[in-house]
Amino acid sequence: MSEHPGPPFPPQNTPQQPRKKKGFSFKVQMILFAASLVVAIGGFGVIITLNNMAGPEKQAKTLTEGDCVVLTGSGEEADAVKTPCDSPQAPYTVGLAGVDDGAWSCNDRFYKYAVPTPLRGKGVGLCLAINAQVGSCFDDIEAKTPPPLTDCGSARLKISEVFPQTSVEGGLCADDTVEVISYVGKGTSNFKSATICFVTP
């Protein structure tokens, strides 16, 4: 045997341990959770703010043909509120109710009325007829917008007679009648036909 040993054996490679997957620490996870919670609360707050800006839901959205209404507010605050038809403060009847898409119109002798619903989609479009109550007084029933009720002491026109049918020539009314409005109801609607006779108060 030689007195000089040979070179040492190279060290054997030790198997490497698999690297642990790095994840978010607990502290980082809590920070992310808190941030997402703040975003969620902020988004909810924005929704609440937008709803408050839009104001309360308009009552006009629940109206159907045949309902009697009182108009309230103006501009963005305009609304139409359902009222008993025998109320002396209910001058109009809904002849047609739909969506105000900007292109709708009403038939002759009906009055166009739009109820805006800001931030809630399209508004409400109404075609209003005069509520046929004997004794109600008006000034200008020829206008395109709903004529307001007027004190009979200074009004130009007063409802004297009402007939539950259509009269094209107004032959149902008395001789002293100065104006006649006749509405045609449809079989599928709660809005009924009527002939309204007006005299000078």
For the record, the structure tokens of 181 come out as 């409005």
In this predicted structure, what is the pLDDT of residue 143?
Answer: 87
Instruction: At 71, list the tokens.
Output: 């108009």
**Which pLDDT score, from 0 to 100, does residue 15 have?**
52
Angle, vertex CA 117, rays to CA 124 and CA 72, nearest 5 = 75
Structural element, H or E, at residue 6: none
pTM: 0.70
State the Cα–Cα distance between residues 51 and 57, nearest whole angstrom.
9
Using CA atoms of 193, 194, 195, 201 in order, give the dihedral in degrees to the nearest 10: -160
Question: Other C-beta atoms within 10 Å of 111: how many?
Answer: 19
Tell me which amino acid residue 75 is. G
Distance CA 195, CA 95 (A): 14
Q: What does the chain come to in residues?
A: 201
In this predicted structure, what is the pLDDT of residue 49? 37
In 3D, which of 111, 107, 98, 87 has the Cα closest to residue 63? 98
| Residues whose CB falls within 8 Å of the CB of residue 18, separated by 6 or more in sequence, listed in order | none
The answer to whether 117 and 61 are in contact (CB under 8 A) is: yes
Cα Rg of the chain, angstroms: 37
pLDDT for the residue numbered 22: 52
Helix (H, G, I), strand (E, B) or coil at 1: coil
State which residues of the chain have pLDDT below 50: 1-2, 39-40, 42-55
The pLDDT of residue 47 is 40
Q: Please, which residues have CB within 8 angstroms of residue 52's CB and are 6 or more apart in sequence? A: none
Residue 173 is classified by DSSP as S
